[in-house]
Structure formats: C-alpha cells, structure tokens
Amino acid sequence: MSQEPAFKRRRIEDPSPAPPSTLTTVSDPMDIDAKSPSSTQADLSYDNEFSRLIGTLGKDALKRLQASKILLVGVGGLGIEIAKNIVLMGVASLTLHDTAPVAIEDLSAHFFLSPESVGKNRAEVSVARLTELNERVKISVNNATLDEKTLSEYTTVVVTNSSSRAELIRINDICHNHKISFIAGEVRGLFGFIFNDFGTFTCIDSNGEPPLTSYVESITKANPGVVTVVDTDRHELEDGQIIRLTEVQGMTELNGHEHKITVTGPYTFSIGDTSAMGDYVKGGFVEEIKVPAEHNFEAISSFFGKPLPHDKVSVSDWAKFDRCSNYHYFLQALLQYQEQKGSYPTPGSSEEAAAVASLAQEIATASAPEGETPTFDEKTTKWMTLLAKGSQGVISPMATIFGGIIGQEIIKATSSKYTPIKQFLYFDALECLPSEELTTEDCAPRGTRYDGQIAVFGNEFNEKVLNLNYFLVGAGAIGCEVLKCWAMMGLSAGPNGSIHVTDMDTIEISNLNRQFLYRPWDVTKFKSETSAAAAQVMNPELKITPWSVRVGPDTETTYDADFWGKLSGVCNALDNVKARLYMDQRCVFYQKSLLESGTQGTKGNTQVIVPFLTESYGSSVDPPAKETPVCLLHSFPNNIQHCMQWARELCFEGSFVKDADINNNYIETEGFVDSLAPTLRLSTLQTLKATMLDRPKTFEECVEWARLEFEDKFGNAIKQLLYTFPKDYVDKHGTPFWSGAKRPPTPIVFDAENELHLDYIVSASFLKAFSFGILKSEFKPADLEEKKQEIKKTLSKVTIPEFKPKSGVKIETDMKVTKVQASYDDKDEETCTAILADLPAFGSDSLSTQLMNPVDFEKDDDNNFHIDFIHACSNLRASAYGIPQVNRLKTKLIAGKIIPAIVTTTAACVGFVNLELYKLVSMESKKLEDFRNSFMNLAIPIFSQSEPIAPKKQKYLNTEFSLWDRIDIRIGDATLQEVLDYFRNEHKLDVEMLGVGQSLLYAAWAVAKAKTRLPKKITQIYEEITQTKIDREHQKYLMLEPTALDLEGNDVEDIPLVALWF
C-alpha cells in the first residue's frame, strides 16, 4: 500500500511499458543510461535510495538539484512545506530566513512546531527536525538583512511571507539583476499565489517525457518526402518538432541527420526534399530530438499597477476563469492592506474584508488603460470579501498544495528541466467555506493550535473536524502527507474523533526521500505503526489506531459492519487498482464518502466520491493494459522494454518461480497432473522431468545448466529463427520480412571474459542453486569474486552440443496474438505417459526431499541476484538484436515496474484531497458543483479542476435508483418464504431465482427443492450449500442476487443491490 495509483480521465495505474525507445541520446530525459552497463557499489547505494526520484527527474537533473543553494524567506506553514520537499530531494544547502517568533496559530500548518516552540524564532526551531529528513543537506539560519550581498550568495531565492509589496519588489529586483532565480508565493486562508522570475532561462527538457520514437514503414522520394511509420502506434509528433532518422537502408543520406517535421497524419509526416536521394529499401528508426527552449521572465514590478496579460497567468479552475484578471488586483490589495494596517483583516470581519475589496477596485481603476473604467460586479466583490475575511489564517491543505508546486518550481530553476510557471499562478478554494456567514466571534482566536483553521472556517466548523472518524488505507507517500495534514487540521483530536490507518508494508530505504514521516532508524518497521506515532508527535491530541491488516474480502470480519458504521469517511492512499476498486465497493455499500488520489512522477490526480451525489471510482473503467504480442516477446523484440519483459517473465519467473511452483504442487497436491488442462500437460511434465529426474545436485551442475541455458537462449534460438526466416527472406508479396520494426538478430558467441556473459552465468547459477536447496541463502557470498573464478574453471569443462536446425518449426508472427497457443496430440500424450512412468508417485518418501524454493522477486535488495540476472539477460538479448544496452538502474526501474515518484506531486495531490474533505464536513450545504476532481502535471505545468460526474440513474418499475441505492431487508433472520413475500409485498416483484455469490438458494422452476427450502431461514440454506458457518459476530448481512418478474409477469432487468440483515 506504499505508493500510488497512467491516466484515464482521473486516475493513475501502474505505468504501461514505455514507448519503444532504443537509442540513447543526450536528450534522454531519464539520463540514466551509461556507456557501460556495470555499476559501482557506491552507485548502487545511491541509485537504490533515490530510484523513484531518479525515475522522475533523471540522474543528471537530480545531481544539478543536489548542487543548488536555496534561500527560503519565511518559515511559516508554507515555508516549512517547501523546506520539507526540497530537503527530501537533497538540495546542497538550504538557508532559512525568518525573524518572527512562533505564535500558537502557526501550529495550524507548521508540522515541526509544538506548544513549547511558542515565542522562539521560527527558523531556528525548524532546523533540527528538517535535518532529520536528510542529513546530506546543509541547513542553516541567516536572519541578516536581505541586502544585495546576502542574496547574491544563493542560486535561488524563495519568499513566502513578504512584509509589503515594496519589500517583495526590492528583493526580486536584486535577484533579477544578479541572475538569481526568484520565486514568491503565499497562502492566505483559501487564497494563494505563486510568482516566478527566472530571468533568461533555458529549459533543456520541457516535459520530462521519454523522446517519442517510431519505426519506419516507408519513405517517399519526393519534395517533400513523406515518412510513414509502422502502424502499431501513432507517432504522436507535432508540427515543428525535430526528429533524427537512423538505420534507413537505401535512402542512407537521411541517417544521422535532424529534420524539422510537418505532421500529415497519425502515421505520417513530411521531412523536406528527398527527391535527389537514393531509393528507400527498408528499415529506419525515428527519434524525437528535444531542443532547448529559452524563456524570458520579467520582474514582479513590471506587473503591478497594470492589467495582467493572459499569457502570464496559469488557469487552475476553468469554472473561475472570470476571476483570473481580478486575482491580480486582489493580491495587490491584500499586500497593500497588510502594509498599511500591519496585519491582514481581522478574521470574520466583513468591514475590514470589504476594505480590501475596495482597495482592489481602486488598484484596478488606476491600472486600467486610459479611457477605461473597470467596475467590479457584486459577484466579484463578494468573493474578494469572503477570501479576505479568512486571510489571516494559514491552513495545512493550502500550504501543502503550494508547497508542492513551489518545490517543483525550485527543481526547474536549479535543474533547467521542465517548463516553469510563466509567471503567475492564482488559486482559491472558496467553495470549502460553510454556507453560513461567519462573524468575528465565530473566527476569533481561542488560544489553541487550531486558531489558523478557526480564522478561516470558524470554531463550530473546527469542532466538527476534530470529531471526524476516518479510515486511511495506505501509509506510503500519500498516506504520510495525509496524516501530516490531519495532524495540523486536528482531525480525530476531539472527544468523538478517531483515525484508523492500515498498511501491511514495512519501511524500506528507498521510501525515505518521499515518505517524510520515516527516518533511517525506522527501516524494517511497519509503516502504519511508525506513521501513526510520527503524526502523534506532530499533534499529541490525535487518536490513531494503526493496523497491519490488509483490506479485502478475507478481512471483512476485521473491518466489519460495526467498524464501517462509525466512520465519517475513507481516504485511499493505495498503489493498485484492485484494492482501490474493493474499497470503492465497500464505500458504496456502506454509503461512505471516499477520497481517492494517485501520482506518477510529476502527474497527479484526485477524485472525490460522495454518496448519492457523484459516481463511484469504479463507475468508469480504464481500458485494459496493452499486452505485448507473443511475437515481439518471443522472437522479434525492438526495444529494451521487450527485452526486459522477456527476461523477467519468461526467464526469471519461468526458471526460478514457476518451475519451483510446479515441482512443489506435484509433491503436495494429489492428482495435480490429472487436474491440468490438456494444453498444459506436456509443458508441465517436461518441467517436472527437469526438476525431479534431471535436477542438479551440486553447484557445479548449476553452472553447467546456466551455460547450456546461455547457449540455448542467445545462440540456438536465434540460429533457429534465422533458419526459419533468413535475413533475405521475403513474404508472398515480395516484401522483406526483416523490415519495419523487425530487427534481425545475431547469435552470441559465449566468452567467459566478457563481463556481461559472466554476470549471466554467475547470477543464474546462484539462483538455480538456491531454488534447488543446494545453497541455503539466495544472497551474494562475501567471497563472490573468488567464486567467479571457480565458475570460470567449471565453464571450461562444459561440453556444448552441436546445434542442428529443425524444419517445420512454427514461429508466431501475428501481432494480434497475445497468448501462446498450445496444442496437444497423440505424440505429446506418448511423451507425457513416458515421463509420468518415471516420476516418483505421490506420497513417495523420496518426494519430501525434493521441495524447491520459489524465488520471491525483490528489486530493492542489491545483495541478491535478482536484478543482476534480469540486467544481464535483457542486455544480452538487446545486444543480439542490435538494441542499445542500458545500465543497472534503468533495468531496476523497468523490470521492477517502479512507479516514478516525487514528493512535490504527492504533496500537491494531498492538499487538493483535503480541501475536498473540508467540503464534506459541511456536506448538508454542498452541491455537486462545489466539489472538484483535480488533475495536474507539474512538469508542463498544467492544473485542471472539474466537477465530478453525477451517478447514472436507473429504473425498476416506477422507482429510480443509482449505484448508491440498495434494498435493505431488515426483517430479522428471515426464512426464504418471508423474503419472497417481502419482495412481492414491498416491491411488487415475484422472484424467479435467488442467489448469494456462487450459491443458488432458490429457483421457481425447481419445485420440489423449493418446497423443502421455503420454511428454512436464508442463512441456514446458505450454510448448508456452502458448508461454511456464518461468523455472526462480525457478519451481519448476506447480499442477495434476485432475478424477478413484475406482478404482470414481465422481466425486470435492473434491480438495486439487495442486503438481507439478520
């Protein structure tokens, strides 16, 4: 449960294999390929710790970030969020500047403060806790005057609490003149802004996506020449992009050159004049070239006192597009009011807030072009007044959103990667407010840590938050951020509040740079317990119960009706769709709200599910993940992803997992072979022959096996493929077989002195020896180098049989086939019978010593041989097919299916999630249009919010219902007859069939059986059929599945869910 949900409309799954990119260029946004696939131990340690972050940023960009010097001015709620994010990512140094003492209201958003911190300097009390996050970062305090000398020491300056508009302008002007990247941002109640000034900024990669690639189908000899790509995937290129062509045969003048393209169709584009070139024969590979883009920024002073150009502001919520230009005046008015009065408006004061709106009107009028007199309408004045009333408060969700976005802008400024915000971002979440008008009495400070929240929402609302009961499912990166927000909000801190958090996972070293509640000394501890304890340190008033019990059908006696009945809502922080869908179904059944979110690198999304108001998470289904065709996987790979999948699924899983499972099933399951489908019979028995009759007994025999496997996979299989389809083979239409995406392979000649060859043998030998119990440990021995020399000696003695090609071998070439098609004939049956005769019978004494150890794949432990094997195996296959090899880290990312992750995206997503939670607190006054689903890509950057979709309505008879409606039968432990009568009397339905899950309890046409069951209780019938006893302490209902007619004998197709409560 540690991570996070590639997008559909609003949710993220495990990423599908990356597009076919095989050429490594300087523009590779992951910049993690190395000329040599090998890695030092120091590299492995660094890569392991930062693997998810490198998967997002790339190693070069990360190292530029980790050499930056940041000055952060203001360490309030927003400042500490920014600091946390950039310290976790590992900037070289962070200097804090804040002369303000801690006030009790700071505890509403500053998670490293305690009541004992009040009166102390905010920057100084933050240093120690920030240092715990990452001891590599040099963190210091400098509260000297922010003059030219001080500011010039830093690469980036971030200001989060400007005391006045004049001060903001002064600091920005110094930075602009000294070419120091400058970021300003602030959150005030439910309003926030960001401003960037990076001077003249060169962006080396605008989006961070892998370069687009395609294989060439044909190229015309014309002006302009048109390239057609293989039609398995659209090229996705746009007009004006630059591409490079390689591997073109015939029209070789194109190879190695860059071309500016014009798109002519989804599979075609033109590249300029090819009319004087040679004739195109076959082949060709297209790769996008990322061209650096220059951006010019202006200082903030050039934007004040004039209308804000539309191209200088990012829109986050199109429903509020009309506010974009007026946000600019509102910001200036807030700053001016604070400068004049020494503070923002008194919380809840309509009079003082109205003064801010009046100031904004004056600024708009003074800024207008000559001859124009802008006048705010009543709607504009109202939203400005409402935002100003809460502007003294700083709340955690808003600070979390802006801390994540500003953290990402710091990455851009320091690494030159991704497109920065140009130049303003404004945002408000006014719809979070309760419907009733708040007064100064409602919002007056109570001298508590929640005064910042009270200033925005009032005390009555705050008390509701404190007494919420929430279930957090997952304590990974999202879960940590959620608990932090809840600690600041005080969720569960009231006498009737509670939090339950569950996660089965334990903490790993790779978690530490994004799951910020964990420290190095927490590694191997349960996430749920550790995160709960960390949140209670932030706010000792929280009441949290940690669980390490996963959610699923088999734990419904743990998370039973009583458990669900006490919940206010559920927040998912999961990393897989199956668990999400299950929790979604549970929330629908118990009619509870669900907060859903997911991230993938710089992309994130959130979804709010509200009973009876919105559709559920499962209402719209993502298309299934695209399966790799059998021919690409087995015989015709054209990118490193195909090689990785082959190495992981067919070689690693096949030899060290599936073989062991088959072996052990034969030993432990009587009749195992008889239960097999005919098409699986031969392959299974051949595996049993290898594991039982021909099993290795010594480590040397494992080395011999590995050498023969090398010859079979990288020599003989390729020779057979080229025998069946020679390199000059043409199809019946005269088209060269080896063209387009098909790359003819070259058999590999084994060389024990070749590091990659030897790595394959070594890793395969150790894994084989462990799976057969020859070695007791799967980990690398201390004398591994000596063992390698012994393996070399063994290799010199291995006899390799001469390869003899076979005729009539069928090799799949159809791209539409995604499953291996197995057959079974009389000859196969003879082979099976012969193997069975030699196998020891079930229950034989000899079988007890032949159990094997299935290898449980673990990508993050460099002491095992798992990634070593897949890395060597996939790179060997790549070299055979002329596909560039990759380094070990990229192997880990792809083969380990590591989802790129970065704390900035996680933080922003969680902030948006908790804004929706605020709305749920005052649910009685909210409409569908008040809620928001959010999507963001911090790399581009894009921020998009939209209303949720209402649930689909259905009808049975004259009754309308949605997925949220249910027929609850509450007539006790009823008999079958009583239930049938209930349907007829209460719902005018005659039940034809009645089932529970897979069990059919009643069928009208089975008269005799029905007659005996009618007087019996439904629960009794169910127990008799399933031969299981209902756990009545925890299970309070059965879900009935009726098929029914109306009273006139017509079929009723749509019936709501039915629950029988007993």
Residue 348 identity (one-letter amino acid): G
Is 643 a residue of the active site?
no
CA distance 215 to 882: 14
User: Whose structure tokens read 């070299």?
Assistant: 879
DSSP state of 222: S
- Alpha helix stretches (DSSP H) within 342-467: 350-367, 378-389, 396-415, 440-443, 451-457, 459-466
| H or E, element range at 233 | none
Report which of 263, 233, 289 is spatially closest to residue 17, judged by C-alpha positions.
233
DSSP secondary structure of 682-704: HHHHHHHIIIIIS---SHHHHHH
Rounded to whole angstroms, the Cα distance separating 724 from 807 reads 8
User: What phi and psi values does residue 266 have, to the nearest 5 degrees?
Assistant: -65, -20
CA 49, 884, 798: angle at the middle one, nearest 5? Answer: 90
Determine the 3-state secondary structure of 734 from DSSP: coil
User: Beta-carbon neighbour count of residue 737 at 10 Å?
Assistant: 17
Q: Which residues contact 27 (CB under 8 A, 6 or more apart)?
A: 205, 211, 288, 289, 290
**Chain-centre distance for alpha carbon 782:** 37
Helix, strand, coil percentages in the chain from 3-state DSSP, rounded to 5: 40, 15, 40
CA pseudo-torsion sign 67, 72, 75, 81 = negative
Residue 1046, judged by CB atoms within 10 A of its CB (0-12, 13-18, 19+), counts as: middle
Other CB atoms within a 10 A radius of the CB of residue 925 amount to 11
Helices of type H across 502-639: 527-538, 561-565, 577-590, 630-634
* Local structure of residue 782 (DSSP, 8 states): T
Structural contact between residues 243 and 219, judged by C-beta atoms closer than 8 angstroms: no
- Hunting for tokens 């090609």 — which residue is that? 805
Q: Which residue, among 179, 211, 202, 602, has the nearest Cα to 416 in the 3D structure?
A: 202
Cis peptide before 423 (omega within 30 of 0): yes
CB 28 within 8 A of CB 37: no
**C-alpha–C-alpha distance, residues 649 and 1045, integer Å:** 50
Q: Which of 203, 587, 631, 832 is catalytic?
A: 631
d(CA 955, CA 962): 8
Residue 1006 has which token pair?
Answer: 């089975």
The CA–CA distances, whole Å, from 628 to 101, 269, 388, 475, 631 equal 60, 26, 55, 33, 8
Cα distance between residue 270 and residue 239, in whole Å? 10
CA–CA separation, 983 vs 175, rounded Å? 75
* Neighbouring C-alpha atoms within 13 Å toward the C-beta of 81: 38
Residue 678 host element (H or E): helix 678-688
Opening angle at CA 875, ends 871 and 877, nearest 5: 125
Question: Does residue 792 come out as left (phi exceeding 0), alpha (psi in the -120 to 50 range) or beta?
Answer: alpha
Q: How is residue 290 annotated by DSSP? A: P
CB neighbours of residue 372 within 10 Å: 10
Q: Which residues are catalytic?
A: 631
